[in-house]
Amino acid sequence: MSDSLLEAKQPQSTSEGFKQSDEAPSRLSHSITWFDDALLLGIMALLAGCGLIYEYLLSHYAGRILGALEAAIYTMIGLMIVSMGVGAFAARKIKCAFTGFAMLELTVALCGSFAIIITAAVIGFGQQLPLAIANNLGLPPDQLPNGGFIAILQALSEYLPYVWGVILGLMIGMEIPLIARVRQSLSEAHLLHNAGTIYGADYIGAGVGAAIWVGFMLAIDIQLAAALTASVNLLAGLVFIWRFWQQINHAKLLLIGHIIASILIGLLASKGPQWEQHFNNLLYKDKVVYAKATRFQQLTFTERLRGNGLAPVYNLYINGRLQFSSNDEHIYHHFLVHPTLAASARHDNVLIIGGGDGLGLKQVLEWNPKSVTLMDLDKDLVSLFKSPPDDMPKFLSTAMLALNADSLNDPRVKIINDDAFNGVDNLIANNQHFDAIIVDLPDPSHPDLNKLYSDLFYKKLNELLSADGVVTVQSTSPYHAPNAFISIGKTLKSAGFKVNQYHHNVPSFGEWGWSIASKQGLSPQQRLANLTHFPIENDWLTLGLVKGAFEFPANYYQDADKVNVNHIGSLQLYHYHLAAWSENEVMNLF
């Protein structure tokens, strides 16, 4: 037998380093058909899109439902990428690529569809555990066992999305090596650019997956999105089994497994969102009466009945964080709005950035402005408080419209749905100026929010503000996050403002702070000090309360020179805020 014939009998390996699979030679064809090749590459593209969506789903859940730090998305992507790398190495241990791939897609579909609802159940019941223990032991409500190992278990349960991310990442990482081996095993000829072709399909599929997430899945329930994504994995597995039935070991069992999984995923798609919401509701001590996922955030309304003729207390949570409580929101919004307008020379034209609930707007309208421009990114949130949807309970929509005095429907109000950082550029381009600007944005807990507290953004506000006008910025807690609070004031000053800061206790939030600034003339504090009475009647806020709010402990600003300005791109304020609130969360465990 010649050497050349001996060489022809030897198993081939790909130029990309993939070993020939162990499938029997009798199952090999001389060359892969165009149909099989297109099918495999199409499956790979679909699975790449699913993999990317799983990353977004899990980080989305951690950020929106649990109220986790928004850095969750970066942590999740990093963990899944590393896990995918480990999975790619582990795929070499799978002897039969055909059988392994079919089993893999079944497992990915089941894990992907159940990850969210299992996480919601574990975390929800973990939050209810102290109450269950207290009820069994007859403990009073003020002695719930919330510390020690219970608090640690509750905190650890919030890492479940990352555990699922690692598990799914390991399996997703196996997909490309297995598909490459399947393609190679279908042809005795050497497949040029095997891995390159598969990675091309992978990258394109991931891009399509990202587009589907942004364009469609962000607006639907997260559990429904998980079930739909898992159904694609399941469909890929079914098509693979149908096409390569002869090459797959235990094909009938795998087919039965896929059929059972189809029924389970269909059940999760129809009932899962409702079940997940019930589990999520366990995170709140009050009864959840309405929840809505918008394109940008998760909104949850709770109700607490008080009896004795007292009105119910309604709370709004955004991404798990309390936005306002109807019981004391007036304290926050009185201090946000009235010192601003009292210190401004005029209040004909007012700009509100954020404040889509209309509660700050209600206070502004008491000053009888000629026009108010409200800029908020989330159109759906504004709609809830402007024209409540039919699916919102009637009692809740009535209560919300009463709470904001239907301010969003006032004819003097112009609503702009836009990102504030870019939206103010349009106002500047139109040569608009405002007598007062009120910035009512969420805390800088995300890099994207950080830019709205930057020196560049405040310079834009300087251009919009009239020469004798005043701007006020909500500035997080001066007690819990002093460096972040001081940094906001210093950043305003770096943008050319004369800045004062003030604070007051809001029971639902604790000690809270605001930064107030003017462009020319007296500082806002000096202007308010010269007043003998409020220009408008107010049945709650007094001038004495306002003047006293500017007082801080004698040593509060002693280390202010060590606090940095939040320059655009520096993420300085974000890190101050992250460090402060992370420390508080750790302290609350014990």
440 is catalytic: yes
Strands 434-440 and 371-375: unpaired
Rounded Cα gap, residues 404 and 406, in angstroms: 5
Residues 6+ apart with CB under 8 A from 174: 87, 88, 90, 91, 94, 100, 104
Rounded to whole angstroms, the Cα distance separating 585 from 368 reads 42
Which residues have a Cβ under 8 Å from the Cβ of 415 and sit 6 or more positions away? Answer: 374, 375, 376, 382, 386, 408
CB contact at 8 A, 293 and 64 = yes
Cβ atoms of 239 and 64 closer than 8 Å: no
Contact at 8 Å (CB) between 574 and 446?
Answer: yes
Q: Per-residue DSSP letters for 212-252?
A: HHHHTGGGS-HHHHHHHHHHHHHHHHHHHHHHTGGGSTTHH
C-alpha dist (Å) from residue 37 to 191, 201, 321: 11, 11, 49
**Phi and psi dihedrals of 293, rounded to 5?**
-100, 120
Environment class of residue 529 by beta-carbon count within 10 Å: exposed (0-12), middle (13-18) or buried (19+)? middle
> How far apart, in whole angstroms, are the C-alpha atoms of residue 67 and residue 77?
18
The full length of the chain comes to 590
Of the CA atoms within 13 Å of residue 494, those in its CB half-sphere come to 17
Q: Catalytic one among 221, 357, 376, 440?
A: 440
Give the residue numbers marked as catalytic. Answer: 440
